[in-house]
Amino acid sequence: MNIILLDHIEKVGAKHDVVKVKDGYGRNYLLPKGLAIVANRTNLARLEGLKKQAAKKNLRSFRH
């Protein structure tokens, strides 16, 4: 199962990474807890928006 991580998860990946995990781990733990979303076409487009927002936020905090 390919997923997009919404938070850093030790031994799995960093925030906004697209990773492959076992189906049960993704379906029974990561998705219900809101730690990841399924990596489909719609969510991959959403990922680009999330990355842009994070970059803007980091830029603003860097300036101040």
For the chain, the structural domain boundaries read 2-63
Q: What is the pLDDT of residue 59?
A: 83
The pTM of the full predicted model, rounded to 2 decimals, is 0.81
Q: What are phi and psi of 52, to 5 degrees?
A: -65, -40
Is residue 64's pLDDT more than 70? no
**CATH 2.60.40.1180 applies to domain 2-63:** no
Q: What is the pLDDT of residue 51?
A: 87
Once rounded to an integer, what is the mean pLDDT over residues 5-32?
A: 96
| Residue that is written with structure tokens 């960093």 in the block | 14
Share of the chain above pLDDT 70, in %: 98
Q: What is the pLDDT of residue 54?
A: 84
State the greatest distance between any 2 C-alpha atoms of the chain, in Å, as a whole number.
43
Once rounded to an integer, what is the mean pLDDT over residues 27-43?
A: 96
